[in-house]
A and B are shown apart, each in its own frame.
Chain A
Amino acid sequence: MIPLTHSLIIAALLFSLGLLIILLRRELLFILMGLEVMFNGAALTAVAAGQYWNNADGQVLTIFLMVVTAAELAVALILVWLAYEHFKVTQIDMLTQLKDDTRGEPP
């Protein structure tokens, strides 16, 4: 058997890698990919804990996590596409304009 701590260490590594991707690659698509990696770290935590206590609840939690991820991505990807259509950028540092901002151009 794999000890629980090893699974948790792997999950923590995945989570922090996803966080690093979000913080370092400030691009819309890379942010979504980093979110996926972070979600997977969380899912691995749930599954490993569920297997450790021999309980199906961890897998149920992961199934709901997948549902939430799918719903989030469907909306988020369309928002990314709209942002790209309007501003022609994917770097989030360029997206500095609010709706009522009359000063105009992003830098």
Chain B
Amino acid sequence: MYEVIFYLTAAIAVLAAGAILKVSHPVHAALYLVISLLALALIFFLLGAPLLAALQVMIYAGAIMVLFLFLIMVMNLRSERNQSLSLPSGWKGPAILALILWLELMLLLNRYPAEETNEMTAIEPKAVGHALFGPYLVLVEAAAVLLLAALVAALYLSRKGRS
């Protein structure tokens, strides 16, 4: 059962990534990218990394994809301007993949406590935190400096009145 869910999720991740190749509209590509990222979060969970699964959903599928969609909508990359008012096409594929992911998650959450011990060796967030703020403390500081540099660069590039 566990293996079936894992390989199905992996297939969804690869399929959604492959669908980016052939869709034409950037918004559809962003939808498929969200599906791929969510499937990868489920794979992380199945591999026994619950902290990373949560972070993947929050940072990738939440923050980064919002940035992507914001930029796509600001750029307004629409081929034909005056579309008739109808349900936008192209939502079925991502919706079906997301539904399968959701069903897998429900199945998994129902069976999780019973099969936790013998199916996977989970590395809890506590161990990750100990490693992160123990031997890798300097890297955390470096990451903070990197984020500050990115913030400064973003502010500089987006300033008003550039000549």
By a beta-carbon cutoff of 8 Å, the part of chain A in contact with chain B is 1-2, 6-7, 10, 13-14, 17-18, 20-21, 24-25, 27, 29-30, 32-34, 36-37, 40, 43-44, 47-48, 50-51, 54-60, 62-64, 66-75, 77-82, 84, 90
Contact = CB atoms under 8 A, between A and B. Distances in A.
B17 A37 contact: yes
B71 A1 contact: no
- Interface range on chain B: under 10, 10 to 19, 20 to 34, or 35 or more? 35 or more
A80 B71 contact: yes
A72 B151 CA distance: 10
Nearest to A67: B143
B75 A81 contact: yes
B48 interface: yes
Contacts, number: 156
B132 A60 contact: yes
A29 B131 contact: no
B61 to A, nearest CB: 11
B21 interface: yes
29 contacts: A2-B6, A10-B10, A14-B13, A25-B21, A29-B71, A30-B20, A30-B26, A32-B68, A33-B20, A33-B68, A36-B33, A44-B44, A51-B48, A54-B121, A54-B123, A56-B123, A59-B49, A62-B49, A62-B52, A63-B52, A63-B132, A64-B143, A66-B56, A67-B146, A67-B147, A68-B143, A70-B59, A73-B67, A84-B75
Chain A, interface SS category:
helix
B63 interface: yes
B21 A20 contact: yes
Given A10-B13, A29-B29, A47-B49, A59 B18 contact: no
